[in-house]
Chains A and B, each alone.
Chain A
Amino acid sequence: MDRRRFGQLTALFALGASLPRMALAGEWEAVLAEAQGQTVYWHAWGGDPKINDFIAWVGEQAQAQYGVTLEHVKLASTADAVAQVLAERDAGKTTGGAVDLIWINGENFAAMKAAGLLHGPFAENLPNWPLVDVAGKPAVVTDFTLPTEGFESPWAMAQLVFEYDSARVATPPRSVTALADWAAANPGRFTYPQPPDYLGTTFLKQVLYGVMADPSVLQAPVDEASYAAQVAPLWAYLDALHPNLWRAAQAFPQNEPALGQLLADAEVDIAFAFNPGRASAEIAAGTLPDTVRTVTFDGGTIGNASFVAIPFNATARAGAQVVANLILSPAVQARAQDPAVLGFQTVLNLAALTPEDRARFDALSLGVATLSPAELGPALLEPHASWMTRIAADWVARYGVAQ
């Protein structure tokens, strides 16, 4: 999407926020009444006990404030929920579906939206929507360059940060070239999750930003004619990097937690994560040594947002909207940003909050390993979703079938 259309879009949302509040308030009362007593099945990845505890806490709030029961369906992969909704549609089940709310973004959102599997638009009608920092955090309405158009509601910001053990790495590399040089000097001490894993492919996109002649083409869909030449520097970079990787690139960790475990076990010295507060939270939990610090690249790192979406055949549609709205409340957002809880960055515009609500955020300490917003540096936009699919598939063909 070009900048102008993007501007129009944000203007549109600003307009939506200023619609007569009375009418919206009346509608919302009806939603609240309908939600009372409903049970919302929130399908969300269940691999992180900190997130599971947070969702359980949100459930307590939903019950206490709105009489909505929240059940966390712990998934091994978000695609399981997508497949469930797809199977229900194929079976002709257009109401009473098993999934009420999905934690989603990127490819899964693009696939569900394209297949018409989502309910909406609903996000811009939520009472807390005006608090969302649409202007300052454009990723909350643009999911991998795809306009969300109100079909999903943001709840957390993420930005790629590199985690390193300062006891073993004095000066961490701050560009993709410096990273390759560091790996050559310290063979076997860095790796990345195996694409098509989400974080692993994100690393490839970060490399693309660093080695491509003109990274702005990433914002448009892949152009077949020029693709091979555009990505040639990526493969050259990886060809040189792989002999210096952990296990000489004969094995890769399978996902973000597995990479984090390697850092915890001292099998690697540098890892990376999408949650800038992860390292601090893990240090607080005693799973990472307190010498771990985070760093970003000089030219910026990729940033995006996490969303919740409601399937077209959700049983507790009203309850799901109530939960989506609750997650956008300052109290819940501040708790998510607490490094002792999750360390997720908020999607809200702090300037739009009341002084009391802003104080909740000011009271938070960053955590020993978390960078301040200024230190984080610029967040690079996610490339168009077609890049992720394409480079992941090509990676698998080049490196994923080495035997």
Chain B
Amino acid sequence: MINQQDYRGIYIHIPFCKAKCNYCDFYSVPLADGDWLEKYTRGLAAEIQQRASSYDGQPIRTVYFGGGTPSLLTPAQIETILAKLDQAFGLHSPMEITMEANPATVDQKYLRDCRRAGINRLSLGVQSFIDRELHLLGRLHSARDSEEAVQAAFAAGFDNVNLDLIYGIPGQTTGDWEYNLHRAMALAPQHLSLYLLQLEPHTPLGRKVEAGQLYMLEDEEEYQLYRTSQELLAQKNYRQYEISNFALPGKECHHNLLYWDSREYIGLGAGAVSFINRVRFRNTARLEQYLQAAGDYPLNFWQGEILEEMDEEQRWVDAVILGLRTARGINLKDFYRRFGVDLHQKYAEVIQEMKTGGFMIIRDGYLRLTPSAYFISNQILARFIQ
């Protein structure tokens, strides 16, 4: 078990995709040529070197390769990056090292090599087990590909696998969603992330909805899908530990918990966000600029834009709105120790009202939302904003 006190995480952004999904408005570059990955790996190495030189030495306990599509990296590139991280920051067991992977890009050999390179947790972007839905989302893989990828991951020796699924897809019925959940659980992954489809206006999907060619589900229907997930997953011992995340006991994602615990993290790569010494900033998202900066070492090339410089109050407000996303909730004593704020007293009225309404409880020293409140949690979180 990872000690949860005083640790940081590292996020590595791999901004390449074979093709863009219909719902995605993240920055990514269509990958035409493997050379880019080589250059990018060198760029990351340069940034790691530079960032480590001013690092305060707090232990690193999680590494997360996100994207984009990190599974476009070769095992050798992964190894290079991890070796560089170890050398620069020191990666000491127990470490959680996650990689996101697209089911269309992986086979058993590749996954075994990734595991050898150091990856010990795999997050597969399955999204759906219904081909019609995959097509609508613009995913390149089929339901069958996903199943094979999960089986390959287990065969390759992974014992900590997450599947990402999307619900609220236009046309999705409760039956469709139950089918997806059953197919997923039949594969026995350790972890499931269920995301409500978020409509972004400047995506192909967003434009279709705008044009009236597709219809998003009603709030009530989305809520029913959410409740269905909570019920079905609980029956199979998947515990909900955050608004959108479920895991078998002990298989929660520590990297994600670090975010919700409002801990600091180092973001590496083009467009990656860091939160270090109370400043949240984003590296330049433009690939050429990022790589060029890597060449101009030792410039402070990662500093694209500062998102937030937080004072003490902003720090603890963050801690509240992130901490309340988790099923465990906020340990009131720890919170007081960390920020010197007695939440129970400061928000006595709000908390009392929420308790009366059945939206919040305080148990064993933790302040938490009730599972039925998650889907309207913004209403509650907004009340804690100053």
A binds B: no
